[in-house]
């Protein structure tokens, strides 16, 4: 655990520095309030800060206020703030706590009391980390497909909406591809659903490995996947679809000690500036292209032009 000590008194700083290191903490030192605020704003800041009340630059309570305002705006991790002061009146305690401090210790302070309060602060930080992790897990469950860890259907459609809006604003194209594993029902029927799940996971892994960092893929339903390719015209979309197809075909999957040669069919289109972005119609055109790929013998990629979208919309 890293702890910030901010105090303009060299005696207090040295005492706290030596004591906290002895207790096993990693220490960061600041000599005034402005420096303390810079440290707490930086990358990977300490999550516990011991702040003297009266310092050059920002006072301890002023640092507390800025930390709380910044945390509220950014929804960042919590910082436990302990104020040190020779002030001992009730109104001073109230002022310090109202500034955003979590605790208050009067100088000269007892080291055992400081140790106990820091332990309490550490527990609060640990609990907050657990809450953030739980919140992130819930967010992941709401947006990701449980089996493949790809985006789920609603999330990938939302991504397509956002990319089309951005593309219209920036005057660039967006590629849309639907991929469907060939003869997937036979995998479940022959080898069982656990094997089918393994095929879906391996398919997802291979697709991710051949995509650009800013592309997106989600499980659209069953063995069908939707791919969003920002900045891709029809030629680029076709190339990306063929790359994904080849990645799946490149080598058999090892499923339950069985070498299974999987393949998939791909259908795509590309939206380009000059037509209204209609996600549903784009998906429909990609689905039509996928249907054609299936009827052309599977394990291939078929593209339909964006003009088809405009024609369907006009109709």
95 is catalytic: no
- Tally the C-alpha atoms within 13 A of residue 14's C-alpha that lie toward its C-beta: 3
Contact between 286 and 177 (Cβ < 8 Å): yes
Listed residue (314, 245, 312) closest to 285, CA to CA: 312
* Separation CA 101–CA 77 (nearest Å): 15
| SS3 state at 148 | coil
Place of tokens 């640990």: 126
Contact between 102 and 124 (Cβ < 8 Å): yes
Catalytic residue among 91, 223, 249, 280: 223
Beta partners for residue 29, in sequence order? 5
* Separation CA 211–CA 152 (nearest Å): 17
* Separation CA 119–CA 127 (nearest Å): 12
Active site residues: 223
């Amino acid at each position: 655990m890293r702890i910030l000590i901010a105090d303009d008194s060299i005696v207090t700083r040295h005492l706290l520095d030596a004591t906290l290191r002895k207790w096993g903490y990693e220490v960061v030192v600041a000599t005034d309030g402005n420096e303390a605020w810079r440290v707490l704003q930086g990358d990977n800041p300490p999550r516990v800060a011991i702040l003297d009340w009266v310092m050059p630059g920002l006072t301890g309570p002023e640092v507390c206020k800025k930390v709380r305002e910044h945390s509220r705006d950014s929804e960042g991790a919590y910082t436990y703030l302990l104020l040190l002061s020779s002030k001992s009146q009730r109104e001073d305690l109230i002022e310090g706590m109202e500034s955003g401090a979590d605790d208050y210790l009067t100088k000269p302070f007892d080291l055992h009391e400081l140790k106990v309060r820091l332990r309490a602060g550490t527990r609060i930080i640990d609990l907050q980390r657990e809450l953030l992790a739980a919140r992130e897990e819930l967010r992941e469950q709401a947006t990701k497909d449980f089996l493949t860890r790809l985006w789920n259907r609603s999330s990938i459609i939302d991504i397509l909406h956002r990319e089309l809006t951005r593309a219209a604003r920036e005057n660039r194209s967006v590629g849309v591809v639907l991929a469907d594993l060939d003869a997937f029902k036979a995998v479940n029927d022959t080898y069982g659903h656990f094997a089918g799940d393994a095929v879906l996971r391996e398919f997802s892994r291979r697709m991710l490995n051949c995509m650009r960092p800013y592309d997106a893929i989600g499980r659209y339903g069953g063995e069908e996947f939707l791919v969003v390719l920002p900045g891709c015209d029809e030629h680029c979309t076709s190339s990306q679809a063929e790359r994904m197809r080849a990645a799946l075909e490149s080598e058999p999957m090892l499923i339950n000690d069985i070498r299974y040669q999987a393949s998939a069919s791909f259908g795509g289109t590309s939206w380009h500036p000059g037509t209204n972005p209609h996600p549903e119609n784009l998906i429909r055109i990609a689905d039509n292209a996928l249907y054609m790929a299936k009827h052309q013998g599977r394990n291939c990629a078929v593209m339909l032009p964006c003009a088809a979208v405009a024609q369907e919309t006009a109709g």
